Structure 1
């Protein structure tokens, strides 16, 4: 048993690279699990890519409850892990408390903003990538109704839904976008049964295409869409492979690159805020062999046109988090 395993072994479900040593980087996965096939797993893939390329090791831990956030941050910082990357906005409060106590440690928070001199905050323009998949949904649907299943009912998830609705209505202005959130607590990220139930209800209301931005809950959405003869859109990582033949696309966030870049920079991580959108290749609509038969040349042309206009500023996709409203709902 390594030093880190002894130190953290009783703190919850934990996965550590063998032989973890001081001053190595670390990543803390959010609720939903390391292998959620979405946000957390993308974080892991970035860390593992760094390890494969460098031959170095990193520490990692999976949260089991919100109460562990500050505990694990302090645990890794106390043991000299640097930088420490955390996947998820929910770390913001704990990090704002912990960071000042470890001024020589660099922290990187993904999807959250913490104004501390040793913290790098990385957020994405999810609304821009969601606009593109909304355009695709509108062109793929034979009727005028599509839907969205979110995880926890919070502004950052409405950010996806609103961009999706705007993209859809840019093609079908009189169409309907059904928006449902799974719940109001963190358990909403890991409830595939509820995700499936919401998807069935949306189909009954006429939805032909469903976009899931719900962490582990999304697995149930994608499976149910396949079972019910709907098209589905994945999120965060490229989920096209999960249900071949029914996955229209995935709205990819390059969380993996954020973790990889942070580990590569090491203690030279530059604090501050960065925003990654279409222009920075931070978000995209995934195209591959799994969805090639579903994506028409006209669809591709429309996506490329919208992308170019968003990057040029000709289309400004509304950010729900700026005013907690959506003009396309």
Structure 2
């Protein structure tokens, strides 16, 4: 396990307090996705009981949630134990999120991990009621003594995606599709646009968000992703980066139908996603966000009886974010990408977190 240095991320915290978008409450628990080991098994008795509340789309979204799931799977394989998984609905209320986290804590799960920024308010409330339980939240910061805030420098990975897009476009026209226009996704946009324009300021960048405010359907609507990407392709873009959860699969499908166009995936290495295999010839690269590392680190810390708490940041320098090389499509431009990465790591390039 690696303990990552604490940083101040008040901006993310304040942004998260105004947002909603993750989880599945007790009111719909019977319909939630679950994967629990038999409670009477020897592995359940000797291992760690992990409660996971996924973002919209859940396990199988080929993106953000699947990255978290890999961390859970690794921890379960290594330590044994019991895992319970619940999945968000786009219609969730704050009460749903509070009920969900409370369910897991009352059932003895420790840690209880919220995958997504929308758990910020509910986790602050529930964590105070269960001081003996360690909670984890991805993509936000909760001011509580028993919470591990797992955050990433999404803008840095997205900057490298922008460099790749700028070097691969043949039309000097690229696009960005965001799931929901919230501060977290704005970080992806900001880094990507800066990477494009630092490489070639003449390139046009189209930006479109699939939903707004508390409407989180933009993270789980492949049809919306496909329509948005098709509109950009029709408008002349030939490289499209989507930070939109499972909606990104629709964008990738649209790009695959346009000869010479490229898609850039997000969170997971989408070239290697089995369900996207028929489109992988069009997946230039993916901006990988290693949520699995953060989740695994938290579970291991509980197993080791040294719970991680506070704010733990996973940066480009720490390989918390990266650019995938699967398919070999960026091999010809890798030296320029590596040069940009080195400048970000040494501080020569300061990547913006807002557009």
Structure-2-length-normalised TM-score: 0.84
CA shift in 2, pair 1:198/1:301, >3 Å = same
CA displacement, residues 143-190 of structure 1 (integer Å, 9 cap, x when unaligned): 211001110111111110110111111111121110100011111111
Equivalenced residues, count: 311
Q: Secondary structure at the match of 1:278?
A: coil
State the Cα distance separating 1:258 from its structure 2 match. 1.1
Structure-1-length-normalised TM-score: 0.91
State the Cα distance separating 1:34 from its structure 2 match. 1.4
Q: Check conservation: 2:325, 2:331, Cα contact below 8 A.
A: no
Provide the residue aligned with 1:245 in structure 2: 281
Provide the residue aligned with 1:227 in structure 2: 257
CA shift in 2, pair 1:10/1:113, >3 Å = closer
State the Cα distance separating 1:55 from its structure 2 match. 3.1
State the Cα distance separating 1:56 from its structure 2 match. 2.7
**Residues 58-69 of structure 1 mapped to structure 2, 5 A cutoff:** 58-64=83-89, 65-67=91-93, 68-69=96-97
Tell me if 1:295 matches 2:330.
yes
* Aligned-residue CA RMSD (Å): 1.7
Provide the residue aligned with 1:323 in structure 2: none
**Residues 1-329 of structure 1 mapped to structure 2, 5 A cutoff:** 10-20=29-39, 24-64=49-89, 65-67=91-93, 68-184=96-212, 185-229=215-259, 230-241=261-272, 242=276, 243-266=279-302, 267-288=305-326, 291-292=327-328, 294-297=329-332, 299-320=333-354, 326=355
Matches of 1:238 and 1:28 in 2, distance apart? 22
Matches of 1:218 and 1:107 in 2, distance apart? 29
Q: Check conservation: 2:37, 2:81, Cα contact below 8 A.
A: no
Unaligned runs of 5+ in 2: 1-25
Matches of 1:10 and 1:231 in 2, distance apart? 39
Matches of 1:19 and 1:296 in 2, distance apart? 46
Matches of 2:319 and 2:266 in 1, distance apart? 15
Q: Check conservation: 1:12, 1:63, Cα contact below 8 A.
A: no
